[in-house]
Structure 1
């Protein structure tokens, strides 16, 4: 499921975060990629050894956990600490698939990556190129969102970041292990949850709405790990 999550961060929150990134320590992004992906990756990444990374990472996780769309779509069991990247001067990241397991820099444990998330921190007009291209059975999807908005997509997706030919593209990216491993089951639960919310607005907690809510929780009970 490909889902746009609007306003994960407000504009003032984005501005504050970017002010801290401006004076932070950046390292070669290829160091965090696997041997195959490192050959295709050219960007800068915020050092995970810095206090800035620890603070900003926690802030992004807190914002995602507050957002009802993210919680409904991802059903996160564990959110790995977000990373931050910077693309400029022709930087790009060629076609790749995210690793199935990622190590949490905080506790050292490995987690399955079910869902990938990119949180945009630069406005689209601030840079040229830099589109996130996602491939699925329906073809290619070109994504370039407003600062503070996020895109959620299956970690199994082949994707890339096009070269940034002018300006600077800042973003945060992360992986989540979902309580529901199967992507199709997650989508069905999300669709059902959204339908229940719409029906509650129209009908209140009617008998039919309560019945659908019961079905949602029984399915989640059956599928959740």
Structure 2
């Protein structure tokens, strides 16, 4: 259900941060005014947003691991957010429908892309709950974590420093998270072990992959 990715090299991270440093950041509630748990800043500069979101979007769409895991149909332009001391984003699930200028998308997968290092700030972990358990993520610059949008998650309060990330939402060709994960696992096994199988069995596995995709893909 979760996938950690190496998405950007250091030059790309530096370019994104340099562009963002010249843009205006405003209260994150501008995009969710009724939220009682959102306390962060987000990039609110059209030129900087267009430039950074293109770099991030292109990196996602050219990343084989991301494509194999997410089966992306549509990807929202990634948005840079900042968290300074005392800021947090309380426990929430992401909205099912994300409005965009060219039409809404369904959020099946959420993705956080880390732009500064885990030692650059205290606190601020992305905490994703799983029943009574949970997972915490503070990635290296240029890494990302993708996770189901329906999960309850939060950004824990910042004690010191600054947390800078980009966030985006993905509409998958396979809407059901269980089916999507089964398809991913089957494709991984076929890629890793397929050439070791007898040809007739590999052919049968391929037919199974293709037919499941026909059944499950929107």
The two structures share one fold, judged by TM-score above 0.5: yes
Deviation at 1:204, TM superposition (A): 8.2
SS across alignment from 2:162: strand
Aligned-residue offset at 1:183: 0.4
Once the two structures are superposed, residues 66-122 of structure 1 have per-residue CA deviations (whole angstroms, 9 ceiling, x without a partner) of 1111111111111111111000121101111111101114x1x11111111111111
1:110 corresponds to 2:104: yes
1:108-187 to 2 correspondence within 5 Å? 109-137=103-131, 139-187=133-181
Aligned length: 218
1:211 deviates by 2.8
Q: How many Å separate the matches in 2 of 1:58 and 1:208?
A: 42
Q: Could you report, residue by residue, the CA deviation over 1:114-164 in whole angstroms, capped at 9, with x for unpaired residues? A: 111111111111111110000123611111111111111111010000111
Map 1:14-163 → 2, pairs under 5 A: 14-33=13-32, 35=34, 38-47=35-44, 49-105=45-101, 107=102, 109-137=103-131, 139-163=133-157
Task: Give secondary structure in 1 for the equivalent of 2:214.
Answer: helix
**Runs of 5+ consecutive residues of structure 1 not aligned to the other structure:** none
Question: Does the Cα contact within 8 Å between 1:199 and 1:209 map onto a contact in 2?
Answer: no
Q: CA deviation at 1:213?
A: 2.5
**Shift, 1:223, TM fit:** 0.7
Distance 1:39 1:138, change over 3 A: closer
Moved over 6 A (4+): none
List alignment gaps of at least 5 residues for structure 2: none
1:203 is the counterpart of 2:200: no
Q: How far does the alpha carbon of each residue in 1:167-201 deviate from its partner, in whole angstroms, 9 at most, with x for none? A: 1111000111111110000000010111112114x
Q: RMSD across aligned C-alpha pairs, in angstroms?
A: 1.6
Give, in whole Å, the separation in 2 of the partners of 1:144 and 1:175: 19
Instruction: Compute the TM-score of the two structures, normalised by the length of structure 1.
Output: 0.92
Q: Deviations over 1:15-35 (max 9, x none)?
A: 111111111111110111252
Q: What is the rounded CA distance, in whole Å, between the counterparts of 2:203 and 2:64 in structure 1?
A: 20
Aligned counterpart, 1:3: 3
What is the distance in 2 between the residues matched to 1:120 and 1:209? 39
Question: 2-side partners of 1:134 and 1:46: how far apart?
Answer: 24
